C-alpha cells in the first residue's frame, strides 16, 4: 500500500492527530473565555489548558490498546511512552518554563537599558497537573469516539 493512502486510513494516527487538534482549538476557546480576548497564536503553542501533548498520547495509547489488545507489547510501549510524556509535560517542561520566567525577570531588572540580541526565553512551555489531566481526558474521549 502506498504511504499517503496508508496514512489516511490509519485510524490510530487520525485519532491522535484529531485529539491534538481539538486540544489546540480548546486552548484558544478557553483562553478567550478566561481573558475575554481571542489569541489565535495559541493554536500552535505549547502550554495552556488542555495539554495537547497529553491529549495526543492518550488517544494514541487508547487506540493501540483497542486495536492491538491491552496485553500487546505495542500497547505496553505506548503506555510507558505516554506516562513519560505526561510526567515531562507537568514536571520537567513546567520547571523549565518557571526558570525561563525567572531568568527573563532577572535580565529585565539587572539590565533594563541593555538590549540583548537574544529573544526572551519562552515561559509557557509546561503544564500544571490540571492541564495535563484535561488533555488526557480530551484524548480519551477522542480515542473512544474514533
Confidence of residue 140 (pLDDT cuts 50, 70, 90): very high
Residue 121 has pLDDT above 70, yes or no: no
Average pLDDT (87-112) is 73
What pLDDT digit, counting tens, does each position of 11-49 carry? 999 999 999 999 999 999 988 888 888 877 777 777 788
What radius of gyration do the chain's Cα atoms show? 18
Lowest mean pLDDT among 34-43, 57-66, 116-125: 116-125
pTM to 2 decimal places: 0.77
pLDDT at 17: 96
Determine the Cα–Cα distance for residues 7 and 14; give it in Å rounded to an integer: 8
Determine the Cα–Cα distance for residues 100 and 116; give it in Å rounded to an integer: 15
The residue extents of the domains of the chain are 3-91+126-145
Handedness of CA 115, 117, 96, 29 (dihedral sign): positive
Residue 118 has pLDDT above 70, yes or no: no
For 5, 20, 38, 47, 87, the CA distances from 14, given in Å and listed in that order, are: 12, 10, 27, 22, 24
Confidence of residue 89 (pLDDT cuts 50, 70, 90): confident
Q: Crossing angle for the helix pair 129-145 and 73-90, nearest 10 degrees?
A: 150
Residue 94 has pLDDT above 70, yes or no: no
Amino acid at each position: 500500500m502506498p504511504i499517503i493512502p496508508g496514512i489516511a486510513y490509519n485510524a490510530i494516527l487520525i485519532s491522535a492527530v484529531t485529539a491534538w487538534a481539538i486540544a489546540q482549538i480548546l486552548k484558544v476557546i478557553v483562553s478567550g473565555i478566561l481573558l475575554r480576548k481571542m489569541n489565535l497564536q495559541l493554536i500552535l503553542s505549547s502550554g495552556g489548558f488542555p495539554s495537547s501533548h497529553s491529549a495526543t498520547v492518550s488517544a494514541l495509547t487508547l487506540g493501540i490498546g483497542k486495536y492491538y489488545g491491552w496485553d500487546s507489547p505495542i500497547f505496553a510501549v505506548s503506555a510507558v511512552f505516554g506516562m513519560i510524556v505526561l510526567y515531562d509535560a507537568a514536571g520537567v517542561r513546567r520547571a523549565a518554563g518557571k526558570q525561563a520566567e525567572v531568568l527573563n525577570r532577572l535580565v529585565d531588572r539587572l539590565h533594563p537599558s541593555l538590549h540583548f540580541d537574544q529573544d526572551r526565553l519562552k515561559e509557557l512551555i509546561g503544564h500544571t497537573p490540571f492541564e495535563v489531566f484535561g488533555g488526557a481526558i480530551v484524548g480519551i474521549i477522542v480515542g473512544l469516539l474514533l
